[in-house]
Amino acid sequence: MSLTVKDLEDLQAHYPDYRLELVDGKIIVMSPSGYESDEVAFQVGANLWNWVKPRQLGRITGSSAGFSLANTRAPDVSFIRAERLPRSPRGYATIPPDLMVEVKSPTDRVEELRDKIDEFLTQGTVVGLLVNPEDHTVEIRRPEQASITLGDGDVLTVPDLLPGWELPISELWPPVFE
């Protein structure tokens, strides 16, 4: 039996503490990401927010905002340009984000995250980022282009979507307080 977005919404209403995605007619329960990966996702989102909001470039959302496209999924962080989404929808967005970010948690498999990013790219997302706290890398994925991997010492930019925005990769990782 193939489940629908309505089924997903009903389940989400009954189990609000769980993150759910609808993939190929099946509901997937997303496990909590873990402290480190959530802190990294928040760092990416906060950095984007601090650049985007004062310039009114668009909208930044976290992992609770869903996108109802071929499947109903939720990136860890997403950005949609203002001209594409002048008002926030009350439910799931029905257009793909321009930029989406997945942060690897301890239970994630890199290949599954790449597949999720690539699914968004085939539906209109311009840039997908795979952030891996385990090896301090950020993989930049674009439709029909070879991926680029950045590490500590590199600076992330996305000039076609966020002109002038820069994020040193080394600033993504949680500090160590000693």
- The reported pLDDT for the residue numbered 69 is 79
SS3 readout for 19-75: EEEEECCEEEEECCCCHHHHHHHHHHHHHHHHHHHHHCCEEEECCCCCEECCCEECC
Whole-number Å distance between alpha carbons of 20 and 11 = 8
pTM of this structure:
0.85
Assigned token pair, 103 = 């942060």
The confidence band for 20, taking pLDDT boundaries of 50, 70 and 90, is: low
Q: Tens digits of per-residue pLDDT, 63-75? A: 888 888 777 788 9
* CATH number belonging to domain 34-171: 3.90.1570.10
Q: Tens digits of per-residue pLDDT, 124-146? A: 999 999 999 999 999 999 999 99
**More confidently predicted of 42 and 11:** 42
Percent of the chain with pLDDT over 70: 82
**More confidently predicted of 63 and 80:** 80
3-class SS of residue 140: strand
For the chain, domain boundaries: 1-30, 34-171
Q: Residue 30: is its pLDDT beyond 80?
A: no
